[in-house]
Amino acid sequence: MGVFWAAVVVAAQGQQPPDILVSRQLAEAEGLGVGDVVDLATSAAGANARPFRIAGIYEPTPDPMQLGQVPREVRMHLPDLLSLTRGPDTPAGTEHVDSINIALTDPRDADAFARDLASRMPGVSARSTSNPSFDGNPFVVLERFHLAIAIVTIVAATVFLLALTIMLVDERRETVGVLRLIGLPVHRILGQIFFEGVLIAGVGALFGLVLALGSERLINEFFQWRYNTALIFVRITPEVAATCVAIAVPLGAVATVAASWALLRRGALRLARR
């Protein structure tokens, strides 16, 4: 749990003060280490500062909502936090909190828990942070935006692939004409073209996956260094890889067959002439 503070000053060693944990970013910025004794205060002037001993340095939980903000945080025991932040006019035990996090044994009971809490304590609401559909979640909008971009990209790439395939197939019209003249039926030629399209699309999808996996670590390390965070920016999961292959291979095969079908509708002599 973090506290408001303005300055951290290494204090002289004396009586063993309470232990705290310091975020990695704060320790690096202030040159702090395990075992140092620091003074923490809730005001910029440093009034009523109390000494604490750094018992460890931790990596803050990555939060996309805080991207670009260096998490300079301190975690301490709840009694120490209350005694440090309690106002002079606030009796002990009368502190209040704005929100708390609750972990359920079964996350599927979140809706039932929220209804039960609302009936028992009117005015107190509970909502699941793991449910992407709850109100006010900016990642729902971001996910839909990514979906829209993906659809537009796939449609544009399909049109470009179809035009490129038509040009490549047209260059092989003489070969197709010779195959027609020696008696090969259209469906057999289409089957061969379809197999070739599946093979090329599969190799292309495999190359794309290898490229993505190879650049995944570089992208994550660069942006983690840039924003000083442990947040994972790119992750190629088996589900993502399977979706990419399921889209790329059929589109490549269909584009090849569609481009070849227009060519095979021509006469054999017309295809074979020079």
Q: What is the pLDDT of residues 52-104, one digit of tens each?
A: 888 889 888 777 777 777 778 888 888 888 888 777 777 776 667 777 778 88
What distances in angstroms separate CA 157 from CA 106, 133, 236, one per listed residue?
43, 31, 21
Residue type, 85: T
**Dihedral over alpha carbons 113, 118, 124, 129 (to 10 degrees):** 30
CA distance 53 to 38: 6
CA distance 177 to 171: 11
Q: Which of 1-15, 128-142, 222-236 has the highest mean pLDDT?
A: 222-236
Q: Which of 9, 94, 89 is nearest to 45 (CA)?
A: 9
Give the confidence band of 222 by pLDDT, cuts at 50, 70, 90: very high
Give the confidence band of 15 by pLDDT, cuts at 50, 70, 90: low
> What architecture (CATH level 2) is domain 9-85?
Beta Barrel (2.40)
Rounded mean pLDDT of 243-249?
87
pTM for this model (two decimals): 0.57
Confidence at residue 4, expressed as pLDDT on a 0 to 100 scale: 43
Give the confidence band of 12 by pLDDT, cuts at 50, 70, 90: very low
CA distance 26 to 58: 10
Q: Where exactly does CATH 2.40.40 map onto the chain? A: 9-85
- The answer to which of 2-11, 72-81, 132-141, 188-197 has the lowest mean pLDDT is 2-11
CB neighbourhood size of 122 (10 A):
8
Confidence at residue 16, expressed as pLDDT on a 0 to 100 scale: 81
Confidence at residue 218, expressed as pLDDT on a 0 to 100 scale: 92
pLDDT for residue 5 is more than 50 = no
- The answer to which of 27-31, 46-50, 63-67, 172-176 has the lowest mean pLDDT is 172-176
